[in-house]
Each structure stands twice: as C-alpha cells, then as structure tokens.
Structure 1
Amino acid sequence: MRTGDGLASLANWFSFTWRPLGREDEWVDELLVALATDLRTQASQIIMSPLPDEDGSATRLEHSFRKGGWIVFREHCDENHILPVEGRSFAEYWSYRPGKMRTTFKRKAKKVDVEIFTRFEEAAWSAYRSIYAESWKPEEERADLLEDFARAEGAAGRIRLGIARADGVPVAAQFWTVEGDTAYIHKLAHIKAAKPLSAGTTLSAALFEHVIDTDKVDLVDFGTGSDAYKRDWMERNRPRYRLTCLDWRQPKAWFPLAKALARRLARGRAPG
C-alpha cells in the first residue's frame, strides 16, 4: 500500500505475517527480481513486515530486492509464539505446563463458567466488547474491522469465541479462529476487577482443550508479541523480520538511507 514515504506491506496490527504469494521455485524467484526492479519506478522506499523466514520468505525477498537494485536492511522486528501439537491430547499437553499455572487452574477453575461459540452471536460479541472496554487494554482503534472479521469467520464456522462468567457476569473473553490445521489466537481480555479469579487462565485452558481435542489442530499460533505469559502456553518461538528497501539513486531515499546506515553502524553491522 502507498504511504507518505513510499510503499509498505498491506498489513495492520492484526496481521500475523505478510509474505508474497506464489510457488517457491526458480521461476518465481526471477519474477520477484523483475518486480523489485520495476518497483524502483514506483517508490524510493519499500518496507515489508512482518516477514516469516521459517519458509524462506524474508530471505527470498531480501535477495530479490538486492538483485533488483535496492539497498536492503533486514531487522528482527517481532516474534511469533507457537505450539506444535504433535499428536498430543489436551491432557498430555497440559501435563507439561508450568506447575504454578496448573495449580492456579485447579484452585480457580470452578469459580467461573466457560462457554465457547463456534458461530458469531450478537450477545457473545457484545460481551466481548464490554469485557475489552473494562480491561487493561487500550481502546481498539479499528473495532469495526475486527468485528467484520469475526462475523466473516463466524459465517464460515471458523470462529472460536470464548466467554468466561462469574456469577453470570462476563469477566473474560478470547477471540480465536481455526483455519485448516491451525488455531489462531487473535484477542484476549479480562476485566481488571476479576483478576483474582484467574478467569483468563481457565478460559485459555478451555479453548486449548477445544482446538486440540475437538478441532484436532496441528498448530496453535499466538501471533506476534513478546509477552512473557505466552511462553507458559507455547513451546516454540519464531522470529519476524522487517525489510527496509531503499533506492539510493533517488534523492528522497538519501535521508532514510543515512538514518538506516547510522543505526546499522551503531550495531556494528555493515549494510547489505
């Protein structure tokens, strides 16, 4: 998409990854170089993020844009926590969770009731919104976009919306989706006053049990972010990268190029 500085990935804060579409073969690599070369007529700067590299996407784009005449800076910009289920049942997975978390669940689970919705329901989404509004999280800048996504996933049967209630009052909510063999964790929140109930832990356990034992997923993806609590639930961490591509031939690129070089030199690394 076009920005004030050039071109950037068509992505937002809800995006798990951004990558080129196409087969992974020599012909596509040639096409990527041709595209990179042509894009020099469209912009002096292109920023691509968040790129995975477990499939080679970041490396392929980096090489293609360098061959296309760009100076490319590659940076680690985020991380992605995942759980490969590897054929385990929820009980088997749960037995490997930290002892403190399992003890908390055992003590607090009976204090809340959990309901998991596999279709979009107005009342459940209203509960999610009220919980989010009373949580520690900042106001959702594009709540309309998130709701449209939830409605579409609900119509397709992919939504997994969990609501935890204490004495009938919604206190925690989580928005997941299941697509193919992967469960994606998008949003979670609990009201601040309900923190002593550990409703979030109980709700997470219920959703993990549902996607592992009922949906039979192979992978649970917690999206981006370095939040410490994710390490309790997930078992692997994958880096996400940002590529900043600058065309040194264009004067508009000189100032961002100087800044990028200064940052790179400060870290003791030469530019590519």
Structure 2
Amino acid sequence: MWVKGEIFRDFADAESAARGSLDREAGRSLFDRLDWFRRTWTHCTPGDRPLIVRARAEGSDAWLFLAETGNAARGLASWYTLAFRLIVTGAPPEATARALIVAIARRLRSRLASIMLDHVPEAEAELLRSGFARAGWVARVTPQTANWSIDVTGKTFAEFWAERPGQLRSTAKRKAAKTPMELSILDRFDADAWDDYASIYADSWKPEEGSLDFVRAMAQDEGAAGALRLGIARIEGRAVAAQLWTVEHGVAIIHKLAHREDVAELSPGTILSQAMFEHVIDRDRVDLIDFGTGDDRYKADWMDTRVMRMRVELYNPRKPSGLIGAAKSGLRALVGRGRSG
C-alpha cells in the first residue's frame, strides 16, 4: 500500500491541502474542523509552533494536529476541546486506517521524543496506541476524565423528562412555581446576551475562564451558522443563569453553564437546563445530547451513558528524552520492545 506523509507548519498551507475536507460544509464535527484548531492556536496556544501532520493512502487522509515545543508535542487542544482525535477523511477500511496512523508515527520519529494527547475517545485512543507502537513508539493509554451523554432518538421531551429522577423533576417544578423566570434561547450571536453570559460566568462558582475571547469567537461563528444555542435565565430582568450549547448533525453539545452564586437556592440552572433540553429535543429533534467532559454528580440526573476520555502518552525510544519519559511513566518493560520496532 502506497502511503504519503506530509508536515505543515502553517494553517493556510494545511487548509489548501485539505481542500475543504476539514470544514463545516464537509460534515466535520466542531472539534474536528480546521477553524477549531486555528482558533485554539490563536487564543489558547499550547506550544511554540503548530505541527500538522497528514498521511494519504487510497483516497483517504489522516490528520493529526499538534503543538510542538522543543522535541515534545501536545495535541493542539485546550480545556474547551471536549474530544480530541486523529481525523480521517473518507471511509477507509481498518487496515488502511492503521496504515495511515503508522505513516504519521514514522514521519514523527526523527522529529519528536514524546507526544501527549488528552481527552481522546477510547476507541480512537486504542487505534493511536497500536499504530504508534507498530512504528516503534512506546505507548500508554490511561483513563483521564468521564464523558456523559444520552441518546434521545425518536423521543419527545415529555418522554425524556418522565425518565429523569423524581427529585430532579420535583425540584424543577417547585422552584419554577416559587420564582418566575424569564427564559430565552438564542440561535444567533447577540452582543447584549453575550455580556450577560460573561457577567454571570464571572459571578459564578466556575474557575476563571481560560479565554473569554475564544468562547466569544466560537459563539459568533456557531451563531452565524445557526448552530448556537445560548440560553439566558432572568429574574425580574436580571440575568442569573446562562448556558452555551451547539447543535449540529443531530448532536447537541453542552459546552458551558453557570449561574450567579447569590441565587443558587432558586435553582436557575436547573430551570434553564429543563428549557434547553426541551428546545433541542422537541424543536431541533437531536438524536444525542453530549454533556462534555467531567464527572460531576448532577450529570447522571440528566444523562444515562458514561464513557471515558483517555490520555495517550507516546514516547520515542530512539531519543534520549523519549527513553527517560517512558521510564518516568512506568513503561520500562516496554522500552526494549519499542526500540526494536
């Protein structure tokens, strides 16, 4: 099988080579699009230089987006990246997909001593591990964080809501009756609503926003495409809770949610969540709702499926620092086998 490998240092060059295959119009999900990686590099730079690798074989491409510092690299991602993976275009058979991964791994052997990838879906993590191992790398996959989701294909919101825990349903009903709230859900970017979101987040229990500029740029782009769902809850005109979702290709993703601490006892987040779920189930008719990463206990009330996102550690035993990294990670027993690959 003929496989070609290339490295790009510039997003414009990668975009030219991709020929639209990494764009929204090609059906790419949010975290697999070139504009997502470009925005991440602009606002949440995880390294000194972008390192974009492509392998080609039999009409399919495989792309791995990295950030390089010295002879180490990380996935080109941030805490806004809820799923990081090798991106494969076309629909290659498994043997071809593995050959593409091996080609990328071999292409990187002379350049890098280690690669760290976070938040990789479990199936993709195993493909990366086995492909890099075949190319002589020492590889380890470990659980990193949980991902909660629920399949709502064919369900109405009433059916979904009836399946939720009784305590959640009674709390939502009681709090809504006690304190009337004005709820709005926007599918286009609105500057005033965005100011409300930023103010609520700053006044919430959430940690400091990594890059508000990143989130704003995402909201603007997704709003322009009609994929944004920005929910705001107000009490007597004051914005008290906000949620940022996206909806595309039958999947709703919950990216951000927050409420003001001084109204926590009124459960504005729960009331707003109920409205958001109703909107995406009954109006958008999504098939899947994804609650992103994190194992917060409350997510089990809204979701029913828990899977893991994995950390993939890759060490090149041909480089001294790769050997040291593998040893520090407890992979000593695998080093000899990796060096012989």
- Shorter-normalised TM-score: what interval? over 0.9
Alignment partner of 2:164 out of 97, 102, 109: 97
Q: Which amino acid counterpart does residue 248 of structure 2 have in structure 1?
A: E
* 1:35 aligns with one of 101, 104, 111: 104
Which 4+ residue blocks in structure 1 deviate beyond 2 angstroms? none
- Within a 5 Å distance, the mapping from 1:174-185 to structure 2 comes to 174-185=243-254
- In the alignment, the residues of structure 2 paired with residue 138 and residue 223 of structure 1 have an alpha-carbon distance, to the nearest angstrom, of 16
How far is the alpha carbon of 1:5 from its aligned partner?
5.7
- Of residues 199, 205, 210 in structure 1, which corresponds to 2:268? 199
Pairing 1:64–2:142 present: no
1:21 to 87, 90, 108: 87
Correspondence for 2:242: 173
Letter in 1 for 2:134: K
Distance 2:70 2:227 in 1: 36
1:59-114 Cα shifts (integer Å, max 9, x gaps): 11111000000010110111110010031100000011111111111111142221
Partners of 1:207 and 1:24 lie apart in 2 by 37
1:6 aligns with 2:85: no
Q: Indicate yes or no: 2:311 matched with 1:242.
A: yes
2:293 equivalent to 1:224 = yes
Aligned to 2:25: none
Alignment gaps of 5+ in structure 1: 266-270
Partner Cα separation in structure 2 for residue 62 and residue 39 of structure 1 = 14
Match of 1:75 in 2: 142
Gaps of 5+ in 2: 1-66
Q: Which residues in structure 2 correspond to 1:114-193 (within 5 Å)?
A: 114-193=183-262
Are 1:259 and 2:325 matched, yes or no?
no
Instruction: Give the superposition deviation at 1:24.
Output: 4.3
Give the number of the structure with larger relative contact order, counting CA–CA contacts within 8 Å between residues 6 or more apart.
1
Q: TM-score, normalised by structure 1?
A: 0.93
Q: 2:72 & 2:109 partners in 1: Cα distance?
A: 10
What are the superposed Cα offsets for residues 194-247 of structure 1, whole Å, 9 maximum, x if unpaired?
111100000000000000000000000010001111111111011111110111
Report the Cα distance in structure 1 between the residues aligned to 2:240 and 2:87, rounded to whole angstroms. Answer: 40
- Looking at structure 2, the residues matched to 3 and 211 of structure 1 have their Cα atoms a distance apart, in angstroms, of 41
Is residue 278 of structure 2 the alignment partner of residue 209 of structure 1?
yes
CA displacement at 1:10 relative to structure 2: 1.0
Kept in 1, the 8 Å contact 2:126–2:141? The answer is no
Secondary structure of 1:149's counterpart equals: helix
Identity %: 44
**Contact 2:153-2:286 within 8 A present in 1 as well:** no
RMSD: 1.6
What is the identity, as a one-letter code, of the residue corresponding to 1:106?
K
CA deviations on 1:161-220 (whole Å, 9 max, x unpaired) are: 000011111100000010110001000000000111100000000000000000000000
